[in-house]
Chains A and B, each alone.
Chain A
Amino acid sequence: MAQQEYERYYVPDQSPWPIVGAVALFLIAFGAGNFVVESTSDKDGFGGWTLLAGLATLLVMLVGWFRNQIHESMSGMYSAQLGRSYRQGMAWFIFSEVMFFAAFFGALFYARVISVPWLAGEGNNAMTNEVLWNGFEAAWPLLVQPMDALAGGEASTKMMPWTGLPLINTALLLVSSVTLHYAHVGLEQGKRSKLIGLLGLTIVLGSIFVVLQGMEYVHAYRDLDLTLDSGVYGNTFFLLTGFHGMHVTLGTIILIVLFLRCLKGHFTPDNHFAFQAGSWYWHFVDVVWVLLFFFVYIL
């Protein structure tokens, strides 16, 4: 009776890929857990190899799963409702990423607004400063750490200016968001060359960003003595920009895959969830950068 009224919802058959993925995560977690210890002490073991095996398995899983997915999508098994499921799933996934970054931004704000001033004696912490960290003064960026202050030492760490590379990087990412948006418009209008050209450009911009970011790190380590272990300033700087950089890298890889699929003509103006998801992801990564640029570099 209802057959005509409702689209069928596609419930996939059994699939081996999820469990392969679970094994991959197991190897990654177990490998990484051992690798971290082995690489920071003089122990040796198989951690690194396990981690690599895990990453390889994950890659196999991703290729297999996505190939499956693409095949199903192209053979028209998906309904509009399923498309909505994917889109909503992606949106909530991005929300979870937002909260992940929120934890690190939270740490940044806490350090700036609370812990550093408290160590310098603010609030009800006069004794903290007097007895434990005599001579420490609050400043942000925190170049003289409390322990340096005790040692009476000067700071060797220098601050990372926002002009220069970071500013260029901001411009790159902002532009890339625009190019990607118009690539999407091109896709929706069925303009293939616009799509491919602009998408290609986005990938180039993203890759330049990653390279510049790498150069910035080299600069930080070599010239500024700004390292992962130079106190909360360095910590928040590297963790925020580092995780962001990882996301850009991942985003770029996604865009490259999308690019190849565009070349193969996988997407149609009204069926291109993968493209949309990739582009949402990219825009999200951009927004994070803007926040980061503002709070980590400028302020």
Chain B
Amino acid sequence: MKKTMSGAVAFLTGILAFPAIAESTSQLDQYQLNLTKGVTDISAEVYDLHMLMFIICVVIAVAVFGVMFYSMVFHRKSKGAKPANFHESVKVEIAWTVVPFIILIFMAIPAAQTLIAMEDSSSPDVSVLVTGSQWKWHYKYMDSDVEFFSVLATQPEQIANKFEKGINYLLEVDRPLVIPTGKKVRFLVTSDDVIHSWWVPDFAVKKDANPGFINEAWTKVNEPGIYRGQCAELCGKDHGFMPVVVIAKEPAEYEAWIAEQQDIQRRAKEEEQKLLAMNMEMGELMEVGERVYLATCAACHMPNGEGLPGAFPALKGSDMALNDMQAHIDIVVNGKAGTSMQAFGKQLSLKELAAVITYERNAWGNNTGETVQAKDVNALVTGQ
């Protein structure tokens, strides 16, 4: 029985000493073993609550296992222990019903207080509509004209172990969400397809994105910085590949950023209109198309266009991609209701749409030789 004892002792000291282990084995900056303290008042409260619960649990465990191991060591038959006769006691039973109950009340009170504070999303300074879809986030600032998609930026080659992995492997996006520090930012969380969950550990915010409903959460970040999180609800194949990155900036910087974005987005729309009059070369379309395809479509239809039989159709050799151009444009722009084929019309520019459709009609042996131009797509969008 020595083994059990020493094993258990090692085990318990292990639990208690883990902050120390964390120190010694740390290789990366974020390397940690415990919950983050985060960067908001709430997240700090949550951390304290976590430590309180943890310590209570360890104390209970030590007490219970202590008695148990004592008995295992000293009440052994091999040591000549004779069994005692007692086998019930109402008093004892009541005691160990009531005492835990009281402990629970002590746990519940601070928990309830923190919870109520967390759920009060009233009177925000900034509101952002956060929409999950397979497998990216869309952010829309409710008080200004800025909206954009935020997609995983890690190179596929890193995931496939061909390139060396960067420090923020899987936790980097092309366009992070930007929010001001010191302001109450409210997140209106929803989804376009399946359930996702928007999670930033440093804010202690995790809210499910339920399609058709809007959940509210809020944060007030104390320090500027880059904060990383992930989608926390199984949402299909690439659930592991839809990170959340938030940059908190000083309010002045934030305002400047918003203004800049508004400008950029306005100019992009103007650009778009100009494009309608032009025709693009096959070569250019294919080049842009390939980039867009790999970034946006390959997750489902696979880089080789063969899809995943039974889940995502092949585009290589597909009847639609070979023959029916109108239907092809339509399904890419409007998606197909009731399937995971989403409407890309508002995600991609006219040029990108035209390019990706052209690409699909000419790649992997789909040699239709046809090009699709921005105006073709626009015709469908505007219903002409």
A–B direct contact (CB < 8 Å): yes
A-B contact pairs, 21 of them (CB 8 A): A118-B213, A119-B212, A124-B216, A125-B213, A125-B214, A127-B188, A127-B214, A127-B216, A128-B190, A128-B212, A128-B213, A128-B214, A131-B129, A131-B190, A131-B214, A132-B190, A132-B212, A132-B213, A132-B214, A133-B212, A146-B212
Interface residues of B in 198-248 (CB under 8 A from A): 212-214, 216
Give the size of the chain B interface in residues (CB under 8 angstroms). 7
Nearest chain-B residue to A146 (Cβ)? B212
B residues near A132, Cβ cutoff 8 Å: 190, 212-214
Distance in angstroms between the alpha carbons of A118 and B216 in the assembled complex: 14
Complex contacts, A146 vs chain B, CB 8 Å: 212
The closest CB in chain B to the CB of A124 belongs to: B216
A162 CB, nearest partner CB in chain B, Å = 30
Instruction: Give the contacts of B299-313 with A (CB-CB under 8 A).
Output: none
A127-B216, A131-B190, A132-B213 given; 8 more Cβ-contact pairs under 8 Å: A119-B212, A125-B213, A125-B214, A127-B188, A128-B213, A132-B190, A132-B212, A132-B214
In the complex, A119 Cα to B214 Cα: how many Å? 9
Q: Which residues of B contact A (CB under 8 A)?
A: 129, 188, 190, 212-214, 216
When C-beta atoms are compared, the residue in chain A nearest to B212 turns out to be A132
CB of A36, distance to nearest CB on chain B (Å): 15
> A119 touching B129 by the CB < 8 A rule?
no
In the bound complex, do residue B216 and residue A119 qualify as a contact, i.e. CB atoms below 8 Å apart? no
Shortest distance between the CB of B108 and any CB in chain A (Å): 22
Q: Mark A53-87, 1 if CB is under 8 A from B, else 0.
A: 00000000000000000000000000000000000
Q: Mark A112-134, 1 if CB is under 8 A from B, else 0.
A: 00000011000011011001110
Minimal beta-carbon separation of B180 from chain A (angstroms):
21
Q: Which of A118, A131, A133 contacts B188 (CB 8 A)?
A: A131
The 9 closest A-B pairs by CB, nearest first: A127-B214, A128-B214, A128-B213, A127-B188, A131-B214, A132-B212, A132-B214, A124-B216, A127-B216
Q: How far is the CA of A124 from the CA of B118 in the complex (A)?
A: 14
Taking residues whose C-beta sits less than 8 angstroms from the other chain, chain A's interface range is 10 to 19
Least Cβ distance of A111 to chain B in Å? 13
Q: Across the two chains, which residue of chain A brings its CB closest to B210?
A: A128
Docked CA distance A125–B214 (Å): 7
- B213 neighbours in A (Cβ, 8 Å): 118-119, 125, 128, 132
Q: How distant is A228 from chain B, measured CB to nearest CB, in Å?
A: 15
Residues of B within 8 A of A124 (CB): 216
Query: How far apart sit A119 and B188, CA to CA, in the bound complex (Å)?
Result: 15
Expressed in whole angstroms, the Cα–Cα distance for A146 and B214 within the complex equals: 14
Q: Which residue of B has the minimal Cβ distance to A128? A: B214
State the CA gap A4–B242 with chains docked (Å). 74
A128→B212 CA distance, assembly (Å): 7
- Give the chain B neighbours of A128 by CB distance below 8 A: 190, 212-214
Of all chain B residues, the one with the shortest Cβ separation from A131 is: B214
Within 8 A of B (CB), among A263-285: none
Contacts of B216 in A (CB 8 A): 124, 127
Complex formed: what's the CA distance from A125 to B212 in Å? Answer: 11
A131–B214 Cα distance when bound, in Å, is 8
Residue numbers in A under 8 Å from B190 (CB-CB)? 128, 131-132
With a 10 A CB-CB cut-off, give which of A124, A127, A132 has the most chain B CB atoms.
Answer: A127
By a CB distance below 8 angstroms, the chain B residues around A127 are 188, 214, 216
Minimum CB–CB distance from A220 to chain B (whole Å) comes to: 24
In angstroms, how far is the closest chain B Cβ from the Cβ of A286?
37
Residue of A nearest to B140 (CB): A131
Instruction: Please give, as numbers and ranges, the residues of chain A lying within 8 Å of B212 by CB-CB distance.
Output: 119, 128, 132-133, 146
